[in-house]
Structure 1
Amino acid sequence: MGDIAAACDAPPAPQMTKESNLFMRIAVHPDGTVTRPEVLLLPPSSSSSSACAVLSRDVPLDASLGTYLRLFLPDPAPPRRLPVVLYFHGGGFVLFSPATAFYHAHCQAMAAALPGLVASLHYRLAPERRLPAAYDDAASALAWFRAADDPWVAAHGDLSRCYLMGSSSGGNMAFFAGLRASRALDLSPAAVPVRVRGLLLHQPYLGGVARTPSEARSEDDAMLPLEANDKLWSLALPEGADRDHEFCNPVKAMPPEVLAGLPRCLVTGNRDDPLIDRQREFARWLRDQGGVEVVVKTDHAGSHASELFVPERAEELFAAMREFVFA
């Protein structure tokens, strides 16, 4: 399985510097609106290629909000039912979509490598729609599966093995979506039972007012420089909130009792990520304060988001996912 990520045409690693960083190129205007840098977008793939045997298609979620899901299915689909992964992309809550080239390729590779039915959510972005708008869209996406009227889900998905997965800000979203799911009561007897078996939290985007050592060292980080990190949180958090708000710093702002009922979690991260101190602290909080079953793999090599561009980093992540999902 080691060549899956390469076979699915992961985009080449950009020659990233602080100056060329996409987050640094977000222009914030005096009226609070932003202009985003342009990125390559890809359509869904109605037929699989020799490079990556995965089909994809878009399905609407809420037309009034402009949200949708991009589904990824191995082709041919295995004869057995596949675990379902609801995926939330990164971008600091401000950038990107399932159609962004590197997230499209990443979800293709994930569907093939697991294998699984992957659904990547196009959620509302900040600052036009600040948090918790993205969390609301994540909850709507999970509710969509309970309708179970999609042919791919009906024919190939095992909704008794559903996983919430996210990277960076998407990892943050997966955590909060998991909290909501653990508290929700399905009162509709006609609903299809959806069992969230676990949360796959890759390099979850977390913060706080006080700097951690890894954050303090990140002023010139190529993938997530400190200035960009500050900018993203200022655009994403509710108006007037500081970075000790629970959406940013749950370890400080949330009582551990809220973790009751949370399913098992996989927390993964890379050693050179400016957020690595937060991620390790978060994993300890889940396990030691919340009593959550946690698998921690936060010693992988690489920078923030390196799995999007480096096939070896992607395969390490997929291997950890397979071990967690099929344990």
Structure 2
Amino acid sequence: MDSALSNEVAQDFSPFLKIYKDGRVERLSGTDVVPTSLDPQTGVECKDAVISAETGVSARLYIPKTKITTNSTKLPLLIYYHGGGFCMGSPFCAYYHNYLTTLVAEANVVAVSVDYRKAPENPLPLGYDDSWAALGWVQSHIEGQGPEEWLNSYADFERVFFAGDSAGANIAHHMAVRLGHEGLVGVNLKGIILVHPYFWGSEPIEGETDVVENRARAEAIWRFAYPTTSGADDLLINPGKDPKLSKLGAERVLVCVAEQDALRQRGWYYSDLLRKSEWGGNVEVVESKEEDHVFHLNNPVGDNAVALLMKIASFLNQDI
């Protein structure tokens, strides 16, 4: 291979990743791995589990260990899907490990952070398939006979939540729709939390800033992750085109948007779609002023990030 060609960029999705003309993929962040441990500051312990040896899908599990030892009551179960444009990030990098540790401590929940396969090596819809397979693996614990003792002993399957940020929020939504449509015996999905969800469409919606660069970039990432997609109105990226939207299998939805995020209006639009559908649940939108996309991960100790964390924790404990 010509060395000059190997250094020539074919597609640049900075700050996510770069694709070189020789086919090499360079991920620009989220490639680090934080070891499993018991965090002394939060009292949260984590461990990793293989969901499928065949596909390589895995997860990182979290429990608020210091609270569990003093209270035998089972805790709400949070299934989390990380963001990164379907192409980068993992439950094991500091970005997501630190966030889940903090959220589990604040909300007092058990969490499963799913490591689905990523594009472009594993193009969509494989990430959705992996995410659904992870739910089947979680479901295998409802009788207390699954492979992971933490889920057998501590997870309350009557209080299950899905959550995610950006592309992960998109996945969380579709897992809730699929659950509502197909069912998942023994799993009672109380709510979903969509943080800065990555939804899109071929036409600008009311209130959406029609910036050519933003539109081109949002659609380019989608087509890159899903080469066989029908486009920006594919029902997987545009919930307004999904005839199964009203089948969403959760009672409550929390949509989190950021004022300066190019995807902000898509979150509001999604909430309107749900309200106008035959879904019948309760949807709430919380907007963080003067903030951009996934700001809470980039600056987790900022005032707005802390406020958002508290709001999500409250949502998870609303029925307790």
TM-score bracket, normalised by the shorter chain, equals: 0.7 to 0.9
Please tell me the residue identity of whatever aligns with 1:135: Y
The counterpart of 1:45, out of the listed 19, 36, 39, is 36
41 and 30 in structure 1: CA distance in 2 versus 1, 3 angstrom threshold: closer
Structure 2: distance between partners of 1:207 and 1:258: 15
Please tell me the residue identity of whatever aligns with 1:183: H
1:118 matched to 2:111? The reply is: yes
Q: CA deviation at 1:237?
A: 2.4
Q: CA deviation at 1:175?
A: 0.5
The counterpart of 2:268, out of the listed 264, 269, 280, is 280
Per-residue CA shift, 1:257-287, capped at 9, x if unaligned? Answer: 5423531211111111110111100110011
Number of residue pairs the alignment of both structures matches: 294
Retained in 2: the 8 A contact 1:33–1:127?
Answer: no
Please tell me the residue identity of whatever aligns with 2:210: A
Please tell me the residue identity of whatever aligns with 2:231: D
- Partner of 2:210 in structure 1? 216
Secondary structure, aligned partner of 2:158 = strand
Per-residue CA shift, 1:126-184, capped at 9, x if unaligned? Answer: 12222221111111111111211211112211111110111110000001001111122
Per-residue CA shift, 1:79-109, capped at 9, x if unaligned? Answer: 1211000000000101111112111111111
Structure 1: distance between partners of 2:248 and 2:262: 30
Structure 2: distance between partners of 1:174 and 1:118: 14
1:36 matched to 2:44? The reply is: no
Secondary structure, aligned partner of 2:55 = coil
Secondary structure, aligned partner of 2:66 = coil
1:180 matched to 2:171? The reply is: no
Please tell me the residue identity of whatever aligns with 1:98: P
Q: CA deviation at 1:230?
A: 3.6
The counterpart of 1:304, out of the listed 279, 293, 301, is 293
Structure 2: distance between partners of 1:305 and 1:38: 14
Q: CA deviation at 1:238?
A: 4.1
Retained in 1: the 8 A contact 2:62–2:110?
Answer: yes
Structure 2: distance between partners of 1:114 and 1:317: 12
Retained in 1: the 8 A contact 2:83–2:165?
Answer: yes
Secondary structure, aligned partner of 1:165 = strand
1:316 matched to 2:307? The reply is: yes
Q: CA deviation at 1:227?
A: 5.6
Secondary structure, aligned partner of 1:97 = coil
Retained in 1: the 8 A contact 2:275–2:283?
Answer: no
TM-score by length of 2: 0.84
1:260 matched to 2:283? The reply is: no
- Partner of 2:168 in structure 1? 170
CA RMSD of aligned residues (A): 2.3
Segments of 4+ moved more than 6 angstroms: none
Structure 2: distance between partners of 1:218 and 1:300: 24
Secondary structure, aligned partner of 1:62 = coil
Q: CA deviation at 1:299?
A: 2.0
1:237 matched to 2:226? The reply is: yes
Structure 2: distance between partners of 1:135 and 1:307: 24
Please tell me the residue identity of whatever aligns with 1:273: D
48 and 323 in structure 1: CA distance in 2 versus 1, 3 angstrom threshold: closer
The counterpart of 1:269, out of the listed 251, 257, 263, is 257
293 and 124 in structure 1: CA distance in 2 versus 1, 3 angstrom threshold: same
Please tell me the residue identity of whatever aligns with 1:267: V
In the alignment, structure 1 segments of 5+ residues that lack a partner are 1-20, 188-192, 220-224
- Partner of 2:77 in structure 1? 84
290 and 44 in structure 1: CA distance in 2 versus 1, 3 angstrom threshold: farther
- Partner of 1:26 in structure 2? 17
Q: CA deviation at 1:77?
A: 3.0
Retained in 2: the 8 A contact 1:165–1:171?
Answer: yes
1:63 matched to 2:53? The reply is: yes
TM-score by length of 1: 0.82
283 and 272 in structure 1: CA distance in 2 versus 1, 3 angstrom threshold: same
The residue correspondences of 1:197-208 to structure 2 (distance < 5 A) are 197-208=190-201
Secondary structure, aligned partner of 1:166 = strand
